[in-house]
Structure 1
Amino acid sequence: MKNAIYLATSHDCAANLAGEAYLLTLAFDHILFLWVNDPCIVIGRYQNPFAECNLKNMEHMQVQLVRRQSGGGAVYHDQGNLCFTLIGNKETATKEENFSLVLKALASLGLSCELSGRNDILLDGKKISGNAFQTTPTKFCHHGTLLVSSDLSVMSNYLTPSSTKLASKAVKSVSSRVGNLKEGREDITNEMVQQALIDAFIAEYGQTEVTPIDCVTLAEAQANYRRFGDLSVILEKTPQFTHSFTHRFEWGEATLHLQVEKGVISEVRMFTDALDTSIVGRATQVLTGLPYDHNALTELARKSEQADLASLLMHVVTLL
């Protein structure tokens, strides 16, 4: 069998996913790809980032937003998390075989983990690995996370949206109790888990050389980068959704419904008991066609010379 092991030297998640897409085109029977990312949020192929993430906090802390091509929910990555990808032939590769390999690798480190029904791997009841899958005409791709020593305390800063009521047909993430492998073995490191996966892969498929790969400079990955890491592309692929809220202002109570398509407000509906009913037309006029974006709405509110409209816009900003 013709097999390969690639070890990423790059930590840009979008570049690494673009590199993974390139590896899917190579003529190997089995590939193991190991990669570690700088802080980022990775959402599934059919997810709505506005419903899954606090984009304002992410922008402030320079946490990258990335959309992968596989399904599943939103996850937080940092350098305490080791990502793995197993690529095999579509007709023969199975997730069961892949999970067995990962569990053997963890067992070799003295970690007794188990597979849960949601394609997660648990350690003492806590999720230490989430997994997602993608199929091409010829390949089966299984990639997952392994939380080794990740800073779990910051996850809620980025994975909890602040919007009041946001209705979307996009796939929602499933909340889970998460933990680190470090809780099961205090001295564990990314390098130890990485080597255990390499050893398990070689034991299963035969001696294979480990090849470093820098996906940031890899031409094939660079050509595909925007697909995973360009915010405009990510938002364009966001399913249509509506954001609704009711709030009492000094000038009256208002209920606002915003329909958003490809990251842009496409329709505005407003109901209010305000004495100046022109607020409905004015809000509809300025909001329709505006990017559903914290900065765009803040700038519009700042420039508004109409007190009632400015207060409405600033309230929308607080909900993003």
Structure 2
Amino acid sequence: MFLPTRLIVIARRCLPRLDSIGVARHASTYKTTYTKRNEGVDSIKKSVFMSQSTNVFVNLALEHWLYRNFNFSNHHVLLCYINDPCVVFGRHQNPWLECNVHAAEKEGIALVRRNSGGGTVYHDKGNLNLTFFSRRDRYNRNYNLKIITNTLLRHWDLNSEINKRDDIIVDGDYKVSGSAAKLGMSNAYHHCTLLVKVNKANLNSILEKKENGIVTNATTSTHSAIMNLSDINPNIHMKKLIACIGWEYMRTKALVCEDGEYDFVQQQKGFQYINPNEHWFPGINQFINDFGSWDWNYGKTPKFTITRTFDVSTNDDKIHRLNLNLEIENGIVEGIRMNLPAGLVSTSDQDVSVISNLRGTRYNHEVTEKIISEIGKIVTLNTIQSIDENNVRRFDEATLQ
């Protein structure tokens, strides 16, 4: 995907220039007087931007920069990019519910929250990301997906369908693409993945949920059987696919899925390799920092609770079942509550302080395990004289102190 320096310079010259306030403009986009959806359709130009970065934080920042700053009045854009291994979840999702956060972090796989809704996806260099930008009143997800399905049919004689969830499916019900979108006051984008040759073993293991007992109103993903395009036709590879989709995008009229005339194709802006850095896109570094921050990726998680039930034994050789409840808000442990059998209290201030001091800390998988371990120590040190199974007292950290 990376071009020699000389070619990058040439490609850069083809980019719209940046004005003093960081808004990308092209001579054809200065016309801003329009009143109807189809006014000036023939003058709409199209470009295919190809990011030179494989960093998910950088590419999401580039996507957000274009959404915020580019003028799509008479210039529609298709952005293509490929990421290093990462997990991308929707704006309103809970990462601990959607994937194996602990395993991903251990493997050095980035986890990031995107600005659009939808479900969680795994990316690696076998996955192509496509973002279709337009004015809000010209947003058309079906049009965009047909660019892809038409490409697969035209170049590889591969029949694919768009289902009711706006997934692209093949061979009956195998998913090769999923979608999400961001709709603003004036601009909009629809982005989708396309499974070309993804490591399915990694995908399945990382997207396997490990946290149990989570209760939340967060959006949950719909799991589907998947297939790589290369599994269907080994001649489908990334570079050719990008070229073919880009060509299909530029040859298709701006608002209807019809081939344009030769003159129409010649008028398009073509392929442009772009380098998403501060020099090219002033202000993008702040977006990169935002997408990489804990506050965004975990702190924006909708409020949730975790309930864990576990057995402990006391010195009198009795087994007792305990319930632990954690309340998490903005990714922070705000409450720790336990249901304990009557008569079970702590005689160790140190043990109790371990539990109470975790309140106000950032949640992760180890927090729950640490609390369970400490409770086990407390119970082991205390022999319960008598237990009424129907009489369970509720303790929070304040009660235990």
TM-score, normalized by the shorter chain, greater than 0.5: yes
By how many angstroms is 1:200 displaced?
0.6
> Residues 161-176 of structure 1: matches in 2 within 5 Å?
161-176=209-224
Name the amino acid aligned to 1:270. M
Matched, 1:15 2:58: yes
Contact 1:16 1:216 in 2 (8 A): no
Name the amino acid aligned to 2:360. G
By how many angstroms is 1:215 displaced?
2.4
- Mark the CA change 1:260 to 1:145 in structure 2 (over 3 Å): closer, same or farther: same
Q: Distance in 1 between matches of 2:313 and 2:246?
A: 63
Residue 178 of structure 1 corresponds to which residue in structure 2? 226
Residue 151 of structure 1 corresponds to which residue in structure 2? 199
Greater radius of gyration (CA): 2
Contact 2:214 2:306 in 1 (8 A): yes
Match of 1:27 among 71, 74, 78: 71
Contact 2:142 2:166 in 1 (8 A): no
**Normalization by structure 2: what TM-score?**
0.72
By how many angstroms is 1:227 displaced?
3.0
CA deviations on 1:30-70 (whole Å, 9 max, x unpaired) are 10100000000000010011111211101110000111111
Residue 170 of structure 2 corresponds to which residue in structure 1? 123
Q: Distance in 1 between matches of 2:294 and 2:354?
A: 26
By how many angstroms is 1:273 displaced?
2.5
- Mark the CA change 1:83 to 1:199 in structure 2 (over 3 Å): closer, same or farther: same
- Mark the CA change 1:116 to 1:310 in structure 2 (over 3 Å): closer, same or farther: farther
Q: Considering only aligned residues, what root-mean-square deviation do their CA atoms show, in Å?
A: 2.5
> Residues 28-47 of structure 1: matches in 2 within 5 Å?
28=72, 29-47=75-93
Matched, 1:212 2:273: yes
Q: Which consecutive residues of structure 1, in runs of 5 or more, have no partner in the other structure?
A: 312-320
By how many angstroms is 1:216 displaced?
5.1
SS at the partner of 2:211? coil
Name the amino acid aligned to 2:45. K
Q: Distance in 1 between matches of 2:83 and 2:249?
A: 22
Match of 2:159 among 112, 115, 123: 112
SS at the partner of 1:236? coil
Q: Distance in 2 between matches of 1:105 and 1:308?
A: 64
Matched, 1:307 2:351: no
Q: Which consecutive residues of structure 2, in runs of 5 or more, have no partner in the other structure?
A: 1-43, 254-264, 315-319, 382-401
Q: Which moved more, 1:141-150 or 1:272-281?
A: 272-281
SS at the partner of 1:140? strand
By how many angstroms is 1:268 displaced?
1.4
Residue 200 of structure 1 corresponds to which residue in structure 2? 248
Match of 1:273 among 323, 332, 341: 341
SS at the partner of 2:180? strand
Match of 1:71 among 117, 128, 133: 117
- Mark the CA change 1:117 to 1:305 in structure 2 (over 3 Å): closer, same or farther: closer
Q: Distance in 2 between matches of 1:42 and 1:171?
A: 14
SS at the partner of 1:199? helix
Contact 1:65 1:231 in 2 (8 A): no
By how many angstroms is 1:228 displaced?
2.2
CA deviations on 1:161-198 (whole Å, 9 max, x unpaired) are 21221001100000100110012211211111101111
Contact 2:313 2:379 in 1 (8 A): no
Equivalent residues, number: 310
Identity across the alignment (%):
28
Contact 1:17 1:68 in 2 (8 A): yes
SS at the partner of 2:224? coil
Structure having greater relative contact order (Cα 8 Å, sep ≥ 6):
1
By how many angstroms is 1:282 displaced?
5.2
Q: Distance in 2 between matches of 1:234 and 1:240?
A: 14
Residue 187 of structure 2 corresponds to which residue in structure 1? 139
- Mark the CA change 1:74 to 1:216 in structure 2 (over 3 Å): closer, same or farther: farther
Residue 300 of structure 2 corresponds to which residue in structure 1? 237
